[in-house]
Structure 1
Amino acid sequence: MTKRATNYSRREFTKLSALSLASIPLLSFQNNFVNEISSSENLNIHLFSKHLQFLDYNDMAATAAEMGFQGLDLTVRRKGHVLPRNVVEDLPKAVAAIKKYGLTPTMLTTNVWDANSQLNKTVLETASRLGFTHYRTNWLKYPEDTPITESQALFGKQALALEKLNKKYGIIAGYQNHTGKNVGAPIWDLLPILGATKGEFIGSQYDIRHAVVEGGESWELGLKRIKPYINSIVIKDFKWGKVNGKWKPISVPMGQGMVNFRRYFTLLKKYKINVPVSLHVEHDLGGAEKGRKTFTISKKEVLRRIKKDLEFVKETWENF
């Protein structure tokens, strides 16, 4: 290649740049549920109810309130606190207990994705009627025999259909980024899918733990890119360690791992992101971290470890 071939005039460079930009698909950056929310003094923190799976609705709500949570991220899914097939009968019971102890029914974790499923419609309609505003969707997997771009196009159409259903019921979906081979494990992976929607009634449930696992030191770039779609967040921590001779991310108590919460909270405030928060306590709770109903440590110790994580989040948020 000659030297002349790499030296463009300013006019030629401008023309080439314009053509390049025009070839990039436009993505939706209008998430009204995020842009209208400003940073405030406190976070609205909900405990992932999976960790209180050993308690009934009343004791679950009483315990969460006593520890200082604003609410529960209630599992309405297979093996959850509320089974989807029983949602019409059981969800009102759970909500009655939640309200009894001064908590707010805001967040759900579900298996919902297919907008054509009658069961999913029943879950969303019931949840919305009872006051819930945010829910986590089911995870997606890439088929082995289909190109990723084709799968993303299909998932984008499905996301748009789900967004329309959410709008009908007045409830907002968040897709959680999760490590491994799940769709959306790398944050950039979600953009073609969410970009097919209006970004209003569906978006990102941003998980900083999984973002750092997958993104390493570039997690800030992913956060900056996905931030217009963030409508809820998950908080937890991890470190790398060897398990049976293989390196894996290991969950640890808040502040003891690789997530830089000082920097993260500083950026959330800078971007004016203050959305519902789900606290996941996935480090050792004697089995309660996995949703088990029996565990190897005392109930008192389980709750102490959960509350310690909550106190870390509150203190760090207030100071940065």
Structure 2
Amino acid sequence: MKPITRREFTKKSALAMGLIPLMNFSSNLFQSNNLNDTLSINIFSKHLQFLDYYQLGEKVAEMGFQGVDLTVRPKGHVLPEHVINDLPKAIENIKKGGSQCNMITTAISSAENKTDVNILKTAAENGIKYYRTDWFKYSESQSMNDDILHYQQQIKNLSLLNKQFGIIGCYQNHAGRSIGASIWEVKMLLELAETNYFGTQYDIRHAMVEGGLSWENGLKLIKDSIKSIVLKDYKWEKVNGQWLPINMPIGEGMVDFKKYFSLLKKYQINVPVSLHLEYDLGGAEKGNRTLTIDKNIVYNAMKKDLNTVQRLWLES
């Protein structure tokens, strides 16, 4: 047998230790083939942009995540203008670190944009299965309906390009005034798309902020188009006299994860997950490359949220 190096022993030991908390949730968790037993959870690399590609893969594996949702966008881990050279290097080094990358987050918006096409082609050639686009905004020059019709066509064209390359695009519902805060807007955006190659990245935090008590209707409306999901939590809080949604660790806010997860199981939705940590983590929540807190605090928060998600999924 080939002797195991100290680095390999450390990495494998860390992976095993990372699984121990999950073993308490269900003795059958890693013995069953039932899709409802666990989720494929990737960490959003925005929160680890202080690490290089190899360190990223190593730390993500050590914490017990399935893989990386890599930022391939301005100020991301991979810059769009360097994607042809840097994305293959990033994926190779993430794998060398012990993890994998099957999904990316981008600022892609048009099949007519050369850089966007380069990102899609390079991603597909390097095994990426899913990507998230940029968000579209309403203009001041035409009606809201005309804007949606315009972006319908852009998404259709992207979906055709996705079909050519063999990759799936996702448009995220997002709280605020961009197109897609309302699930009905997302539904309209997707009407002309090739359904196997373009759908939505469903974000329960944003859906609840914008949907209030009707988020279940929105989920039911869009369920057949969900290709990936984002997980994060929040609560409403008055700040300087103004009510604002404040981001929280998973399970400490207002998102009814047990209800949400039970509906995902009912609809037989078990797609790749991107875990986001948007609450205060010394700048990691903003994608900063220099932090104001110890990195271990960030890692511990990630592991805590990961374990909480898996526990809530099993309990739902």
Runs of 4+ in 1 over 4 A off after TM superposition: none
Q: Do residues 303 (structure 1) and 299 (structure 2) align?
A: yes
Structure 1 residues without counterparts, runs of 5 or longer: 1-37
2:165 to 152, 164, 169: 169
3-state SS of 1:40 partner: helix
Corresponding residue for residue 138 of structure 1? 134
TM-score, normalised relative to structure 1: 0.86
Matched, 1:58 2:54: yes
Map of 1:147-158 to 2, 5 A cutoff?
147-158=143-154
Deviations 1:176-203 (Å, cap 9, x if unpaired)? 0111101000111111210122322111
Q: Identity rate of aligned residues, in percent?
A: 53
* Residue 112 (structure 1) shift: 0.6
Amino acid at match of 2:168: I
1:40 pairs with 2:27: no
Q: Tell me if structure 1 keeps the 8 A contact 2:120–2:162.
A: yes
1:80 paired with 2:73, answer no
On the 8 A contact 2:56/2:97 being kept in 1, the answer is no
**Structure 2 stretches lacking a partner, 5+ long:** 1-33
How many Å apart are 1:117 and its aligned residue?
1.0
Task: Specify the code of the residue in structure 1 equivalent to 2:47.
Answer: H
Tell whether 2:311 aligns with 1:315. yes
* Kept in 2: contact 1:39–1:273 (CA 8 A): no
Larger relative contact order, structure 1 or 2 (CA cutoff 8 Å, min sep 6): 1
Alpha-carbon deviations, 1:100-128, whole Å to 9, x = none?
Answer: 23423211000111101111111111100
One-letter amino acid of the structure 1 residue matched with residue 41 of structure 2:
I
Q: Report matched runs for 1:110-259 at 5 Å.
A: 110-259=106-255
Distance 1:144 1:39, change over 3 A: farther
Q: CA deviation at 1:245?
A: 2.1
- How does 1:250-289 map onto structure 2 within 5 Å? 250-289=246-285
Q: Give, in whole Å, the separation in 2 of the partners of 1:250 and 1:40.
A: 30
Whether contact under 8 Å (2:162, 2:169) holds in the other structure is yes
Per the TM alignment, residue 144 of structure 1 is displaced from its structure 2 partner at its CA by 2.1
SS in 1 for 2:36: coil
So what's the TM-score if we normalise by structure 2? Answer: 0.88
Cα displacement string for residues 60-80 of structure 1 (whole angstroms, at most 9, x for unaligned residues): 111111000010100000000
RMSD: 1.1
1:252-300 per-residue CA deviation (whole Å, 9 max, x = no partner) reads 0100111000000000010000001000011111111101122222111
Shift of 1:306: 1.2
Distance in 2 of aligned mates of 1:158 and 1:291: 28
Shift in Å, 1:162: 0.5
